């Protein structure tokens, strides 16, 4: 994980993407991943960061969890330049969704609907 985080810091800019799913026990999980460009190899990498337990599925709660996790691993929100989530209203909607609330924190990022 340290090598990945060092690469992200080296390239400076990154995108975050995530998805919610229910595991076999019925617990909602949020996967948090990042995408970044390895400048030396001119190659885009997608890396898994963590699974988070998602007890509150509101956009505000999920945004808080994602930002908190990025901070925990040492990735700055200030260098975020992209987001990528599914089409769920809590993730991708125009108001009170994860993408719209993260956009308020980092207006330079671009949201991509998959």
Q: Could you report the average pLDDT of every consecutive run of 10 residues in the chain (114 residues)?
A: 85 90 88 92 93 91 93 92 85 82 85 70
- Torsion-angle region of 56 (φ positive above 0: left; ψ -120 to 50: alpha; else: beta): beta
Other C-beta atoms lying within 10 Å of the C-beta of residue 46: 11
Give the pLDDT confidence score for residue 12 in this predicted structure: 84
Give the residues across from 15 on adjacent strands. Answer: 35, 82
**Single pTM value for the model:** 0.85
Cβ distance 91 to 26 under 8 Å?
no
| CA distances from residue 42 to 11, 30, 36, 37 in whole angstroms, order as listed | 11, 29, 10, 7
């Amino acid at each position: 994980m340290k090598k990945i985080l060092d690469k992200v810091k080296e390239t400076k800019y990154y995108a975050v993407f995530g998805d919610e799913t229910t595991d076999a026990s019925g617990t909602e999980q949020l996967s948090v991943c990042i995408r970044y460009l390895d400048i030396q190899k001119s190659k885009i990498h997608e890396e898994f960061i963590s699974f988070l337990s998602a007890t509150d599925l509101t956009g505000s709660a999920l945004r808080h969890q994602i930002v908190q996790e990025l901070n925990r691993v040492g990735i700055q929100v200030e260098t975020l330049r992209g987001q990528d989530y599914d089409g769920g209203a809590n993730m991708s909607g125009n108001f009170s969704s994860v993408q719209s609330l993260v956009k308020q924190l980092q207006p330079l990022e671009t949201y991509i609907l998959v």
